[in-house]
Structure 1
Amino acid sequence: MRVVVTGGAGFIGSHFVRTVLADGYPGLAGAEVVVLDAFTYAGRIENLDPVRDDPRLRVERGDIRDPQRVGEVLAGADLVVHCAAETHVDRSISGAADFVTTNVTGTQVLLQAALDLGVGRFVHVSTDEVYGSIEHGSWPEDHPLEPNSPYSAAKAGSDLLARSYHRTHGLDVVITRCSNNYGPHQFPEKVIPLFVTRLLDGRTVPLYGDGGNVRDWLHVDDHCRGIALAAQKGRAGEIYNIGGGTELTNLELTGRLLAAVGAGEEMIERVPDRKGHDRRYSVDWSKIRDELGYEPRVPFDRGLAGTVAWYRDNRSWWEAVNR
């Protein structure tokens, strides 16, 4: 089996690649892996260092918006796991163009190539942010999409394109929507690595607004296992939410990070709230549990401790990306 992972040098994609090559997903054991990555600021070849010499890995530089390059890389693929995306909400607020072209146009280019080349399955990796904000309860997969940021709007557009290629053309598409990821190798613009690296440098951490925004935290290992289950056993045309089961306010999360590095509350710097900041995300992941046997396995306290330790022990990695 040949698996193409777009964005395979990024945080989530590289974790998936490393685990496939370690035969960590029984249904993908022995698979060849092709990474397609544009190596923009968040795609780091260093994320693939543990597997760079694996004969089952091939790394290809390319932009998912380039039909010719995409066609070259997807030729012979049995499975596409589409992780490549512009993902940082703050960047989308200051400039949305790259989010629209990469997340929407890039996804369409990939879907068309997969259709033309007869790829067996296309897994589109998306986000809970496409649902908008929810005050109480949790979103099921059939909840209407109500994105509130340019990033989530672009991801919603890509979700709808993926669904349309299944409904119109019969392409075997599965969509996953995850809650907030964390873990090693995450680019330090996202809240956990941003706060950890700033605290390790003795700097304050910027907490938006009143700190009451709620997120469900999902370790990248659990997320990638959910993706693998969807790739192997998901029903064509279906959407699967992947949750972590640990909801925290940003203030509660900040307190845990302060404790993890031995810092006090004086290190919190209150900053004006983000524009259009969604108050709460929460996905109902009972469908992937009941149909595919998914359960999060990494307890948040253990996952967070391991993440903090990784950034403490790999200062050279995040100092290089922060430059």
Structure 2
Amino acid sequence: MKLEYIGLSELSGSLIVLEGVQGAAYDEMAEITLDSGEQRWGRVILIDGDRVVLQVFEGARGISLENARTHFTGKPMDIALSREMLGRVFDGAGRPIDGLGELFPEVRRNINGAAINPVSRQYPRDCIYTGISAIDGCATLIRGQKLPIFSGSGMKHNELAAQLVRQAKVAGEEGDFAIVFAAMGVKNDTAEFFRRNFEEAGALQRVVMFLNLASDPIIERILTPRCALTAAEYLAFDHGYHVLVIMTDMTSYCEAVREFSSSKGEIPSRKGFPAYLYSDLASLYERAGMIRGRKGSVTQVPILTMPNDDITH
């Protein structure tokens, strides 16, 4: 039996509120059907007794208090995964946008993932060559670790990210190598620069691209690194790839978290960011590593821009 809740109790921006809901869970996905037959997706972000707040991915334009029916799916957001992802381009929520059709999944996984158990971690010993002397010689990128890059105003961090994709290779051990590239809050011309650059260099076939544009909903920007890391974990620990995850720009991600927190009415902390921002970032960064008994690895290079060149931002 399919249970649907008819109508809404409140509507604010991209948030919708239902009352009298039983059995909903945090992060659970919901299907919202309008009277016109249009379907949209939302995610539970707040539960207060029988009152549930959902964030609508596609925005709430066209939704009213009377024209929506909501069905809770009973599961969190997941993403379709397959080795066919290599060479493909997806939006921030993991939907193909390259015109090559839908992905035929081998498996679907929850995008929230989990940090690797410290007991099962394998000690990192090998590096990834980037072809950039300042990194290879002074701040070596160790396989299974994290190497953040801080960019000031006017610095060409996009060109650096593209250079990393073109030149990176695994050292010290044979194995398949792949790159998961996640761009958050980028303009259309920047997204086209990345795609064209990878194609011209012949690197696109080893890259899984997730592109979240500046005009896309902020909820997709929050999902983008989680989708990218879920794809990386699948390639690394299910198929033995050594995966380099490049995420740019993490500052756009943090600003999306701030806007999202403000829309929920949470009390802001330093510079308006929510108090849980650092634990939220840790839940992403701690998904890098190697697991004892598994062949693959996940290495991260998050790129952050510093507003007004303030490294304390």
TM-score normalised per structure 1: 0.31
Where is the helix percentage greater, Structure 1 or Structure 2? 1
Where is the strand percentage greater, Structure 1 or Structure 2? 2
Structure number with bigger Rg: 2
